[in-house]
């Protein structure tokens, strides 16, 4: 395979990938004008050469002259001297028309053959130049397509490299986000544990403080109870023992019979003072017996029926003691004693 056919074969191999586009030939007009000029010049040369060869050569004539000396006056006739015989004139070569015509024809044929050979060589030269230009154009086109292919490969490789870097960046970002999320989760768990510990500590401190407050208040209430009992005994002594308050009925008392809604009025007064945060099963009932002075002062409060939950029972008793004095009845006096029920879910 010649070097010129290699790019052509390569271009044909890549014809599917890169559609062939004819290359516009350059210098077409100049080549056409040059060929026309050469043909005209060749025609002129052939024309004059043929006419010069077939023309009949003109004949040549030659005349010989001998100078005659002047004759002097007659003298005595001398003895005649022998005269030299003049040389015969040289024969004049006459052209041979047939031989000259053959020579001219041969020369014309030779010139025509030379002209045809020159034209053939010119045509071959032109064809070779056109072929070389076409091959050069094909090589340039193949080179351009090869450069385009390499550029496309370079861009594709660059795109893949950028895509790989972007995927690596996203993966690194994802891992970083995951680490931050895990770190945030660990911090939140630690904060929740710390808050739970603080809350448990605060609850324990609150319970301890509440218990201390309850114990202190119980002592104060016990002292106040003793004082009220003493005051009640004094009032009973002054009253001469009249108006017994020993009844256990909810409607009995020295201040007269309690109205039907008095127990609910007392319950509404006591219920906001109940401090109880435990969960209990069901809805247990605690019944409290209360003794009051006519002005509503609390004389005593005791559990007449337990709910079965000591925490609830104690919370109810403390709430009754915190509610001192209790409200009076509709007649302006409080009943001496009555019972009231409490349930945690009412």
* Closest to 339 in 3D by CA, of 242, 219, 247, 240: 247
Quick check: bond before 38 cis, omega within 30? no
> Can you tell me the distance from the alpha carbon of 303 to that of 96, in angstroms, rounded to the nearest whole number?
179
DSSP conformational letter for 260: T
Fold topology of 243-342: 3.30.1150
325 and 234 Cβ atoms separated by less than 8 Å: no
> Can you tell me the distance from the alpha carbon of 27 to that of 144, in angstroms, rounded to the nearest whole number?
21
> Can you tell me the distance from the alpha carbon of 178 to that of 155, in angstroms, rounded to the nearest whole number?
34
* Number of helical H runs and strand E runs in the chain: 5, 3
The pTM of this model reads 0.31
In order along its 346 residues, the chain shows pLDDT tens digits of: 444 454 455 545 555 555 556 666 677 788 888 899 999 999 898 888 777 655 555 555 656 555 555 555 555 555 655 565 655 555 545 555 566 778 888 888 899 999 999 999 999 999 999 999 999 999 999 999 999 999 999 999 999 999 999 999 999 999 999 999 999 999 999 998 888 888 888 888 888 887 787 777 777 776 766 666 666 666 655 544 333 333 333 333 344 466 778 888 888 888 888 888 888 788 888 898 888 888 888 888 888 888 888 888 898 889 888 888 888 888 888 888 888 888 888 7
pLDDT at 246: 31
290 and 327 Cβ atoms separated by less than 8 Å: no
pLDDT at 254: 40
Write down the domain spans for the chain.
243-342
Can you read off the two tokens belonging to residue 325?
A: 């004095």
Q: Residue ranges of the alpha helices (H) in the chain? A: 5-13, 28-54, 97-239, 262-270, 310-322
CB contact set of 263 (below 8 Å; sequence gap of 6+) = 250, 338, 340
Helix (H) or strand (E) holding 298: strand 298-305
């Amino acid at each position: 395979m010649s070097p010129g056919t290699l790019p052509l074969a390569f271009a044909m191999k890549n014809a599917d990938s890169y559609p062939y586009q004819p290359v516009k030939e350059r210098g077409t007009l100049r080549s056409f004008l040059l060929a026309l000029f050469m043909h005209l010049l060749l025609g002129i040369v052939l024309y004059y050469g043929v006419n010069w060869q077939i023309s009949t050569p003109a004949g040549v004539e030659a005349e010989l002259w001998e100078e005659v000396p002047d004759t002097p006056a007659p003298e005595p006739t001398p003895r005649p001297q022998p005269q030299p015989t003049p040389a015969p004139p040289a024969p004049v070569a006459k052209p041979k028309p047939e031989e000259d015509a053959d020579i001219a024809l041969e020369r014309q044929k030779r010139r025509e053959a030379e002209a045809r050979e020159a034209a053939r060589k010119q045509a071959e030269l032109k064809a070779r130049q056109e072929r070389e230009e076409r091959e050069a154009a094909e090589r340039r086109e193949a080179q351009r397509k090869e450069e385009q292919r390499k550029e496309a490969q370079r861009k594709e490789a660059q795109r893949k490299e950028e895509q790989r870097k972007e995927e690596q960046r996203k993966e690194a970002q994802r891992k970083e986000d995951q680490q931050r999320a895990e770190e945030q989760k660990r911090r939140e768990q630690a904060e929740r544990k710390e808050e739970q510990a603080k809350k448990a500590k605060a609850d324990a401190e609150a319970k301890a403080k509440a218990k201390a407050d309850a114990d202190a208040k119980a002592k104060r209430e016990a002292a106040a109870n003793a004082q009220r009992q003493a005051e009640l005994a004094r009032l009973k002594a002054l009253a001469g023992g009249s108006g017994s308050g020993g009844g256990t009925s909810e409607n009995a008392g020295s201040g007269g019979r309690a109205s039907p809604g008095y127990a609910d009025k007392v319950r509404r007064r006591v219920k906001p003072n109940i401090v109880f945060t435990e969960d209990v099963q069901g809805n247990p009932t605690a019944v409290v017996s209360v003794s009051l002075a006519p002005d509503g002062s609390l004389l005593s409060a005791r559990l007449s029926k337990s709910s079965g939950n000591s925490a609830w029972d104690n919370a109810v008793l403390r709430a009754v003691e915190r509610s001192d004095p209790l409200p009076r009845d509709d007649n302006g006096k409080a009943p001496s004693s009555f019972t009231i029920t409490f349930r945690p879910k009412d």
